[in-house]
Amino acid sequence: MKLQEGLFLVVIFCLSYTVLVKGQHQPRKDCQTKCGNVAIEYPFGISSGCYYPGNESFSITCKDDRPHVLRLIEVKNFYHRGQIQVLLNGSSSCNDAQGNEILGSYDFRLDDLSLSANNKFTVVGCNVLGVVGTSGMDDYVTGCMSVCNVPPAKNGKCDGVGCCRTNVSLPLDYTYKFASFRIPNMTSVHKFNPCTYAFLVEDDKFIFSSLEDLKNLRNVEKFPVSLDWSIGNQTCEQAGNTSICGGNSTCSDSTTRSGYICTCNQGFDGNPYILDGCQDINECTTSNSDHKHNCSDPKTCRNRDGGFDCKCRSGYRLDTTTMSCKRKEFGWAMILLVTTIVFLVILLGVSFIQHRLRRRKDTELRQKFFEKNGGGMLIQRLSGAGPSNADVKIFTEEGMKEATNGYDESRILGQGGQGTVYKGILPDNSVVAIKKARLGDRSQVEQFINEVLVLSQINHRNVVKLLGCCLETEVPLLVYEFINSGTLFDHLHGSLFDSSLTWEHRLRIAVEVAGTLAYLHSSASIPIIHRDVKTANILLDDNLTAKVADFGASRLIPMDQEQLTTMVQGTLGYLDPEYYNTGLLNEKSDVYSFGVVLMELLSGQKALCFERLETSKHLVSYFLSSMKENKLHEIIDGQVMNEYNQREIQEAARIALECTRLMGEERPRMKDVAAELEALRAKTTKHKWSDQFPKEVEHLLGVQILSAQGDTSSTGYDSIKNVAILDIEAGR
């Protein structure tokens, strides 16, 4: 049963699709298209689905091989312009042998069709009055009168003598009737005019003959009448896309009634009411004089859609007056035109060659810069074996210019020893930071390449992500993720931000930086020494999360070495004194620099300040003397210390002093520093929470004591330290 229902729906869909195309009703493919010798074209049709729906006036009945509209009225011709020609009977009234008048009339109904303006109501006879009107003669009536006493001598004029005619305009949806009858008390003329006639006929389709028509009207029973029709009741604008006008046709509002009609465009012929009904007329071959070409020489005619062209051979031009080809006359104007065209072609050719040479030169220069900036080595290193940051992208020079708006000064974010940093906007609307080395400083170029190689080995959440680089410029460019909240130096000492970092913020930043350095030293695929750790190289995002940046001075330490001998490089105030004196670089150099950063976080003072006393210009010396004199509270930032965190701050100060010992071997490893700071942070969090929820903490401490009695093999510090170490090692 379900299968039968499915097949029924498919059949209905297929039938609907054949009838409706793009929302426009179209006839079925199997419609009968002829009735006798008369062609039946849409919107008219013989059976359901073959004529335009909703208007039974378009339904044609084929009876005795003759088409009938409204079932009774015979159709002689169909016209696409909104008319049909039908045959209507006439009415006659005749006198018998005794002179008595036998009256006759004819009635008909047009429904949704209407009489065209070119029809005439015509009366033939002498001393006769003809009338036409609606049924009952009370709504509409008109007519004319014809008089004569003897047969008129004039022949062919219907001017009231033997014949009269008048215009008629009948309302829709009525039954109409016309009749003729003698005018009483006038001279009898039935001997030469036994009958009078009244009928509707198209203008110029009936020519009156007084000698024949007054006697017998030439035995004509039906007369050709033109009827108007249109599609629907809407205008073309109202119908819009629902109009049934097909391709290469034009919709126009009916001028005689509501609705619209369709006509084929100029140069096309056919039925405009079906999709592909209007076809191109080949004016070059058609025998129809209305559409034939007017080229003087048929050989020059070239057909095209909607028209034709008369094409003259080379050296001749078309004279549009006679549509004939005449030989071209080359004058000074033509010579000037040809000379101008040749000059422009030469100019364009020279410009094109110069443009190609300039582009080749630019390409060679970009390739030269790419090789000079270590592009080949960089690609080899990035594509070689071993772990690396696979997201590093090589940008083009044009892309960098567009991103920085031509390195506009308004896009500069900052300038420093490593170069200038611009704000850039990539085609996908992502915001990036673009760092450009200083022009002519080869050491800066080497540091840029070094930074790419170093960052290609790093994938850590607290390291500024390197997105790519551009090596096609005279100096290389590095593209980083954009961190929009400035540096830690700006937050501690700058004027752009309020120094509103709380103790919890500062301790968390210290933990994040320490964990990052510990990862670089111990957990990276190749150990990395940053060599320029300072607050200006620590960026903060919207959540004040630390991002370590600027790896231009960094060095990769081979696995079989613990230190490198290099040229001393760093920033005064943060530079390891042992490295400065010996030139031996190891991970303890970063430990010293981090200790200075930790002191800045605690004190809110700069690492090197010449406004302080001679012995206190260096923050490490200032911090050490304050600790020895038990005056630590005097240099701690006022926004940091309170009555609850004094012990934690002293512990952090102790860690900072251990990190800044003169001898590198006496300093702790970054891994241990990170663990201690993480433990200190956990303790600070616990104290702060216990102050807010003392009862809950007391309950949890009781649970922990019971747990400790069951397992005495671990301690709280070791557990925290182990968690911190695992967190550091999970950085990559």
Q: How far is CA 90 from the centre of its chain?
A: 67
Nearest CA-CA partner of 423 in 438, 408, 444: 408
The verdict on whether 532 is a catalytic residue reads yes
**Contact by Cβ (8 Å): 464, 487:** no
Nearest CA-CA partner of 123 in 21, 198, 45: 198
Positive or negative, the Cα torsion across 548, 552, 553, 558? positive
Q: How far apart are CA 204 and CA 202, in angstroms?
A: 6
Provide the terminal-to-terminal Cα distance of the chain, rounded to the nearest Å.
65
**Contact by Cβ (8 Å): 214, 192:** yes
Q: What is the largest CA-CA distance in the chain?
A: 159
Helix (H) or strand (E) holding 237: helix 236-239
Q: What phi and psi values does residue 723 have, to the nearest 5 degrees?
A: -60, -40
Count of positions (residues) in the chain: 732
Q: How far apart are CA 192 and CA 189, in angstroms?
A: 6
Q: Dihedral through CA 190, CA 194, CA 200, CA 206, nearest 10?
A: -100
Q: How far apart are CA 62 and CA 60, in angstroms?
A: 6
Task: Classify residue 437 as exposed, middle or buried by CB count within 10 Å of its CB (0-12, 13-18, 19+).
Answer: buried
Q: What phi and psi values does residue 662 have, to the nearest 5 degrees?
A: -65, -40
Q: What phi and psi values does residue 497 have, to the nearest 5 degrees?
A: -125, 150
| DSSP code of residue 183 | P
Q: How far apart are CA 113 and CA 70, in angstroms?
A: 9
Block residue for tokens 């009366």: 123
- Cβ–Cβ contacts within 10 Å for residue 504, how many? 14
Q: Which of 228, 269, 280, 532 is catalytic?
A: 532
Take residue 292 and report the two structure tokens written for it.
């034939």
Q: How far apart are CA 580 and CA 80, in angstroms?
A: 102
Task: Tell me if residue 346 falls in helix, strand or coil.
Answer: helix
Block residue for tokens 């909240």: 485
Block residue for tokens 């390195």: 407
Catalytic site positions: 532
